[in-house]
């Protein structure tokens, strides 16, 4: 009990230290100019999000069969009704003389506010809320003090209702905005002109500005065109787009192009860390690519090859020594900070390799840090899929997984995907889906596992396992091909007969 009280006291102290970074509806207008200036002057900006939920049904899950369009479609079905309820943003500013990055961290609580016909409906998932509660998420701040927002469609509706005079008008204007409340009543005929003559259109602009809220931060990020950094941020990008911009497009390629237009320089520390780990010596590599593990690796000064002139990264007006990363993890503001911290350290690793001996003679610049990872720009990690990443600036890569396996049952028995999945689970991570009642397709996580399965089932008495060839093994594809051949053959014969008749 005493230990628990001590932990609660430590947690409370840490949270109080971070209270200055919490951006709420009550201080958003006051802090906006500061945030705007820091976004405009940053060399890089890192982000992180916490959501009201992630999935509606168990059948919508990540799969080793997924390519980019498949994963997009699955996530789209799941995220349409979920919201970002906490958004972390950290801006990094480089001081070349001190070889130091100064970080300004912000933690936004976001809540949709109803006005007139704009009344957002959203879903919550019990497991997500339970997870957030374990991480000491402040639900009162979310509901009572969350910052409003509008996507583009909602803004058009609100503007229209303001212009047409259908919207409720504010009374006691100054008191209302000081208290972050709006007192409203319906405008009667002829009163609109009188109100405009007294207040001009400032009232409408103030109402619109208030309800745009966090959307203005989203638009600052878009207009800044600064490098945006996240960790495993594919879902973050989809929900950001859906919540603050417009409904997600049905077409995956359209979504990629639009994201690339909004944010032309995206970096994913999860993907970059995988790439760097490939070239590190085993003793110099980190244990896992989870964000906190990656942060602890760099914060402890590990990684011998790039310690020389490694840049210092410090929170503005805050000592990191007073903070406990293990307690703060999954607070969006803190996670955005440690994500940006890791990005800059990863950049220094690659810059040290790029500039060779020159990197041992002098501190490197922020431009050199960022340019050294330019080849990883717009490549966002995809968890448990056929491809390793989504490329927002071009075509996705080919599959980096083994060829799909085909498991057939011998004799007259039928076969199920679950049966095959349970049978092969001892080898490695696999996903299955039925081809027909006697065959199941198997996606395997790595090549050594695929080879082992093929060897072990070479003379199996019940199952035959082989590499899957769509043209040979799929009755649907074979049917389509034969239909195409018959049609094309018929057309050729028809053309030949017509030629003879001329």
Cα(145)–Cα(122) distance, rounded to whole angstroms? 18
* pLDDT score, position 304: 60
Can you give the pLDDT at residue 364? Answer: 87
Instruction: Give the pLDDT of residue 12.
Output: 57
Beta carbons of 364 and 317 less than 8 angstroms apart = no
CA distance 37 to 220: 10
Look at residue 106 and give its three-state secondary structure.
strand
What residues are paired with 94 via a beta bridge? 101
Kindly tell me the burial class for residue 334, based on how many C-beta atoms sit within 10 Å of its own C-beta (0-12, 13-18, 19 or more).
buried
Of the candidates 359, 366, 333, 344, the residue with the CA atom closest to the CA atom of residue 295 = 344
The pLDDT value given to residue 282: 76
Q: Which of 71, 79, 30, 20 is nearest to 54 (CA)?
A: 79
Q: Residue 196 has what pLDDT?
A: 62
Per-residue DSSP letter, 356? G
What is the pLDDT tens value at each position of the chain, 502 positions in all? 455 444 555 555 555 555 688 999 999 999 999 999 999 999 999 999 999 998 766 567 889 999 999 999 999 988 888 999 999 999 999 999 999 999 999 999 999 999 888 999 999 999 999 999 988 899 999 999 999 999 999 999 999 888 776 665 443 343 344 444 555 566 666 666 666 666 556 778 888 999 999 999 999 999 999 999 999 999 999 999 999 999 999 999 999 999 999 999 999 999 999 999 888 877 778 878 899 999 988 888 776 656 678 899 999 876 555 566 666 778 999 999 999 999 999 999 898 888 876 666 788 899 999 999 999 999 999 999 999 999 999 999 999 999 999 999 998 889 989 999 999 999 999 999 999 999 999 999 999 999 999 999 998 989 999 999 886 666 555 444 445 544 454 444 444 434 433 4
pTM of the model: 0.85
Q: What is the pLDDT of residue 303?
A: 66
C-alpha distances in Å from residue 307, one per residue of 304, 311, 353: 6, 9, 12
């Amino acid at each position: 009990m005493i230990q628990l009280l001590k932990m609660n006291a430590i947690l409370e102290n840490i949270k109080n230290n971070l209270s200055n970074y919490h951006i709420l509806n009550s201080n958003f207008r006051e802090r906006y100019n500061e945030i705007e200036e820091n976004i405009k002057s940053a060399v890089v900006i890192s982000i992180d999000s916490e959501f009201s939920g992630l999935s509606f049904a168990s059948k919508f899950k990540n799969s080793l069969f997924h390519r980019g369009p498949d994963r997009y479609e699955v996530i789209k079905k799941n995220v349409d009704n979920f919201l970002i309820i906490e958004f972390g943003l950290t801006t990094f500013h480089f001081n070349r003389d001190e070889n130091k990055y100064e970080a300004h961290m912000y933690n936004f609580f976001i809540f949709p506010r109803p006005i007139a016909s704009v009344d957002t409906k959203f879903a919550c998932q019990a497991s997500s809320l339970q997870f957030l509660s374990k991480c000491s998420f402040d639900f009162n701040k979310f509901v009572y003090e969350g910052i409003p927002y509008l996507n583009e469609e909602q803004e058009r509706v609100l503007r229209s209702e303001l212009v047409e005079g259908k919207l409720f008008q504010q009374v006691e204007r100054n008191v209302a905005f000081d208290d972050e409340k709006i007192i409203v009543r319906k405008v009667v005929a002829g009163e609109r002109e009188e109100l405009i003559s007294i207040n001009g259109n400032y009232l409408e602009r103030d109402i619109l500005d208030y309800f745009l809220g966090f959307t203005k931060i989203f638009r600052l990020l878009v207009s800044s065109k600064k490098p945006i950094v996240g960790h495993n941020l594919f879902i973050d990008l989809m929900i950001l787009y859906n919540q603050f911009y417009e409904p997600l497009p049905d077409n995956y390629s359209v979504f990629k192009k639009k994201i690339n237009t909004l944010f032309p320089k995206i970096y994913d520390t999860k993907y970059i860390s995988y790439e760097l780990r490939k070239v590190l010596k085993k003793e110099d590599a980190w244990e896992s690519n989870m964000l906190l593990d990656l942060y602890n690796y760099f914060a402890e000064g590990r990684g011998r090859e790039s310690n020389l002139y490694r840049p210092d990264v410090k929170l503005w007006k805050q000592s990191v020594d007073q903070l406990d990363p293990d307690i703060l993890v999954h607070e969006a503001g803190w996670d955005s900070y440690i994500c940006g911290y890791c990005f800059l350290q990863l950049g220094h690793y690659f810059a040290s390799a790029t500039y060779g001996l020159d990197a041992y003679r002098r501190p490197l610049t922020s431009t050199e840090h960022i340019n050294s990872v330019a080849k990883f720009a717009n490549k966002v990690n995809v968890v448990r899929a056929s491809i390793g990443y989504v490329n927002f600036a071009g075509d996705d890569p080919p599959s980096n997984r083994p060829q799909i396996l085909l498991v057939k049952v011998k004799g007259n028995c039928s076969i199920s995907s679950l049966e095959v999945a349970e049978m092969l689970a001892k080898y490695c991570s696999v996903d299955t889906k039925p081809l027909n009642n006697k065959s199941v397709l198997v996606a395997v996580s790595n090549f050594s596992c695929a080879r082992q399965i093929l060897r072990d089932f070479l003379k199996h008495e019940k199952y035959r396992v082989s590499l899957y060839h769509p043209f040979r093994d799929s009755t649907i594809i074979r049917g389509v091909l034969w239909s195409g051949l018959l049609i094309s053959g018929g057309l050729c014969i028809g053309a030949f007969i017509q030629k003879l008749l001329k």
